[in-house]
Chain A
Amino acid sequence: MTIAPDQEQPLVGQRVQRREDGALIHGRGTFIDDVKLPGMLHLAFKRSDVAHGRIVRIDSSVAESMPGVELVVTGAELKEPLPPVPILTPFPAPAHHAVTPDKARYVGDPVAAVVATDRYLARDALAAIVVEIDELPAVIDPVEAMTGAPALVHEEFENNVALRIVSGTGVDTETGVVDDSALRAAFEQAEVVISQRMRNPRLAPTAIETRGVVAHYEAGREYLTVWATTQRPHTHRHYIAPAVGLGEHQVRVIAPDMGGGFGAKKIYGEDFVAAILSKRLGRPIKWIEDRSEAFMATTHGRDMIGEIEIAAKRDGTVLGIKARLIADIGAYEMLLTAFIPTLTHGLLSGAYAIPMIRSELIEVFTNKTPTDAYRGAGMPEAIFFVERAMELLARELEMDSADVRRRNFIPPDQFPYATQGGSVYDSGEYERLLDKTLALAGWERLQAEREAARAQGRLVGLGLSFYIELCGIGPSTMFPSGGWEHASVTVERSGTITATTGASAHGQGHETSFAQILADQFGIPMEDISIVHGDTAKVKQGVGTVGSRSLAVGGTALRLAGDKVKAKMATFAAHLLEAREADITFAKGMISVAGVPESAMPFADVAAYAYVPTTLPRDTEPGLSAEAFWEPEGLTFPYGCYIVQAEVDRETGEVELQKLVGVDDCGTVVNPLIVDGQIHGGLAQGIGPALSEEVIYGRDGQLLTGSLMDYAIPRASDLPRFELDYTVTPTPLNPLGAKGIGEAGTIGATPAVVNAVVDALAEFGVRHLDPVLRPEKLWRIIQGETS
């Protein structure tokens, strides 16, 4: 089978089949566990099986004597050579050691490491290590934790509070002084005030491929090569180099094919341990996380309580939102742990012109796995709160779900729009998109069907949500991880193009969509273009693929690098064709003079000339290669609307999703096939937390959802066929007009599903339900227990 886009038309906008797939459908990808080197040893971690306690003694004598065991090291032995696990946020954070030297703070906290000749033998040795821990009370409930009870996770953080920030209306960002008068007046004068405590469940990102690392230190060359599951190879290199006493120039990080990331694949302590032990033993070392480990040791997401108050007029006009946000961030801070919940404030305006917004955010340590970015990263929390609040308001005012939103939309002529949540929205036509969604779903017909179903005693509900996504990250002033992206474009001497991008793809299809952009730009077939990513030795610089930024930021960097090369190529072509540079055009593999069709040269001939010029134009160098860094001026804000029809089984409490209709606007769409796929996957990851997915800890801090038997990600039969469409409102902030689509579905789906289920249970007086809406919970409501 061949990929055959219509070469007569621009490739941007076409459903081009992915070039990545040719290898993957044969199982010929190279994923982390496929990397195998001569003499390679296997690393495994002994992890705490209690949530909180002081390490009294670790006896590894038996393990050390077992066959195949090369080394056993404890946290105390690794504390000195290794720096703490990296944190990118500017806030005060506790030291976090790759292997804890003194205290275990969550079930899964590494306490020792084993290196053996075989992965089975390494596991055998783990079982033989005796760890004696003096248990402390487990800190599990974040609200209780804020009183300092029952213990302190980190002695230096009073009341277990990692961070407290008050933001929004009346808060002086310079001085931190808070003026409450306007906000208080708005709430006092409001005709309606609704208060609701809501909760976003704790989630496990659950990429189907777990994490892993292969570290290979070559003594004599003093060079470390690391294959790692990371969405940020250059950040990985930046931190791993000093950790093992090397410079960045002595380290190469390769992100091989990666089986999903969803925000969780970044640098961890295990990467440091593999690298330093490879250096110490002079052998390549591999660590592959198993699934039970992944549930404990790969960062979680969400877990935020919101105490939300919304003030409005009786006509539905929202006057203000107040939010007290409590984020349970777990036992330690990782790369962006403390930063993620701060994003929630930035989206508390939703799609609405809300004159006053105030939030207080409290981040709390508990004895749980650390949280960090997970698809959506602070945004699903915000949109869940806002879209539930809008629905509560609609119910209170007996307004249609669509009408209450329509009344509050930011009008199209108000962009760029600065929200009281501190965000500047770039562009949007919200009402147009809402109308398109209502028409696509047949909103009034669905409402009539619901009434008919209810008349038969069925529990059918409709849910609507309107989401905003904050993406296209940077600028760097706002993001501690860096907001730019890098690209390079080289026209090879044969007339093909090799391009690199710092956006390291792992399923997003950059090799296809980025090639589409360059093919249009240079007027050559995309088969003649290759996109290289995920290797610091081939890609000069990069930030990475996170936060739906690849196309808006990485794609723009690529376009700009292409512009530079194209300009130089035009100079050469003008010289050769004896024309003005401004008249040079690129199309269909030819470089021509506009208006003079006979004055043209094959693209490849100009490329060949650039490398072996007969005469060089004045002030030019040979060659055709350029790079670009792109730093966006601001964020992009895609948006969309989802409508869900759900039925709850009166006998069992099971939810059936009967319909999900959605319209998304991510600005310019480069490849609709890929965008559809991103939305579908996002929707599934938003539906999961509404209906089945939740990380649960026991009172003693034991992880109760430690396998895919207990942590229920959606299966094919749990999901309806999604019916989707688009509107296109390009962003003015980058030349592509692209906004981003990676997290859209995840953000919008959860409130749409919850709104539908709450509606379905209206006859039981249900006003609000927090996810997760498992059958037992709903069955109890149907049986008459109050929620």
Chain B
Amino acid sequence: MSETVPISITVNGTSREAEVDARLLLVHFLREDLGLTGTHIGCDTSQCGACTVLIDGRSAKSCTVFAVQAEGSEITTIEGIGDDEALHPVQEGFWAEHGLQCGFCTPGMILAAVNFLERNPTPSEAQIRRALDGNLCRCTGYQHIVNAIQYAAKRMAE
């Protein structure tokens, strides 16, 4: 019924080619077609940030981007951040500072934080809180998330 379009996207360093519905959302392409289920969907309307990924290094909400719009871009999902042997400092911070409870918003939070710390490696607490305005968490009250990002900033400065 709907038109299909060929796309070529690099996801976590691997080139992916696919024929997708023009209306397919990027988040569904990542989750359903590629099986990268670490990217979550919380609101469908780009307020909650659970679906945050990096598109060409900038954090973006993959629930409001069509897969075809990501044509030619490089995407990083949570699966492309750190690994078991070497956690990313932001992941380490979330673990050390109890920055997550249910863990549903966490991948989006981590990607938003990774991108934020690249732009501002020595943020104040107020700047961290402001930077998280596009990522909602209902469990933590954010304080431990702020601590996690402060932890990461310190580690990355070492």
Which A residues fall within an 8 A CB radius of B?
1, 17-18, 20-31, 33-34, 67, 120, 124, 206-210, 257-260, 262, 290-292, 506-509, 673-674, 676-677, 679-685, 707-709, 713-717, 719, 721-722, 745
Contacts and interface: CB of A to CB of B under 8 A. Distances in A.
Nearest to B92: A1
A209 B102 contact: yes
A305 B137 CA distance: 29
A672 to B, nearest CB: 10
B157 interface: no
Interface string B1-36: 100000000000000000001011000000100001
Nearest to B77: A27
Contact of B130 (A21, A507, A717): A717
Q: Say what secondary structure dominates the interface of chain B.
A: loop
A685 to B, nearest CB: 7
A723 to B, nearest CB: 10
A208 B40 CA distance: 10
Nearest to B103: A24
A24 B143 contact: no
17 contacts: A1-B92, A24-B106, A25-B87, A25-B91, A209-B50, A258-B102, A260-B104, A291-B43, A507-B139, A684-B142, A713-B136, A716-B129, A716-B132, A717-B126, A722-B141, A722-B143, A745-B141
A174 to B, nearest CB: 43
Given A291-B42, A676-B144, A31 B104 contact: yes
Nearest to A683: B141
Interface of B: 1, 21, 23-24, 31, 36-45, 47-48, 50, 77-79, 81-84, 87, 91-92, 94-96, 98, 100-107, 110, 125-126, 128-130, 132-133, 135-146
Given A21-B100, A717-B126, A707 B43 contact: yes
Contacts of B125: 721
A652 B50 CA distance: 31
A697 to B, nearest CB: 20
A22 B83 CA distance: 10
Contact of A707 (B47, B101, B132): B47
A508 B98 CA distance: 11
Closest A-B pairs by Cβ, 4 of them: A27-B38, A259-B104, A24-B103, A507-B102
Contacts of B94: 21, 25
Tell which of B48, B101, B106, B126 has the most Cβ of chain A within 10 Å: B101
A24 B101 CA distance: 9
A509 B82 CA distance: 23
A24 B141 CA distance: 18
A681 B105 CA distance: 14
A210 B137 CA distance: 13
Given A259-B102, A676-B144, A717 B40 contact: no
Given A21-B100, A24-B106, A120 B23 contact: yes
A721 B40 CA distance: 28
A765 to B, nearest CB: 34
A17 B104 CA distance: 18
A682 B101 CA distance: 12
Nearest to A686: B141
B47 A716 contact: no
Contacts, number: 192
Q: Of residues A208, A291, A677, A684, which shows the largest number of chain B Cβ atoms within 10 Å of its Cβ? A: A208
A701 B120 CA distance: 46
A676 B98 contact: yes
Nearest to B78: A27
Contacts of A209: 40, 42, 50, 102, 104
B114 to A, nearest CB: 12
A291 B132 CA distance: 20
Contact of B39 (A27, A260, A709): A27
A208 B140 contact: no
Given A207-B138, A707-B43, A680 B87 contact: no
B88 to A, nearest CB: 9
A210 B41 CA distance: 9
Contact of A17 (B21, B78, B98, B132): B98
B101 A210 contact: no
Contacts of A507: 100-103, 139
Contacts of A674: 98
Contacts of A673: 98
B38 A717 contact: no
A17 B136 contact: no
B134 to A, nearest CB: 9
A709 B45 contact: yes
A22 B95 contact: yes
Contacts of B83: 26
Contacts of B84: 22, 26
A763 B126 CA distance: 30
B136 to A, nearest CB: 6
A27 B37 contact: yes
A1 B137 contact: no
Contacts of A260: 101-102, 104, 138-139
Nearest to B144: A677
A126 B3 CA distance: 20
A771 B30 CA distance: 41
Contacts of B87: 1, 25
A28 B39 CA distance: 10
B98 A677 contact: yes
Contacts of B104: 29, 31, 207-209, 257, 259-260
Contacts of A23: 103
Contacts of B100: 21, 24-25, 507
A208 B136 contact: yes
A1 B96 contact: yes
B27 to A, nearest CB: 10
Contacts of B41: 33
Contacts of B128: 716
A291 B82 contact: no
Contacts of B81: 26
Contacts of B47: 707-709
Nearest to B111: A27
Given A681-B101, A717-B129, A34 B37 contact: yes
A290 B81 CA distance: 27
B79 to A, nearest CB: 6
A290 B51 CA distance: 14
B46 to A, nearest CB: 9
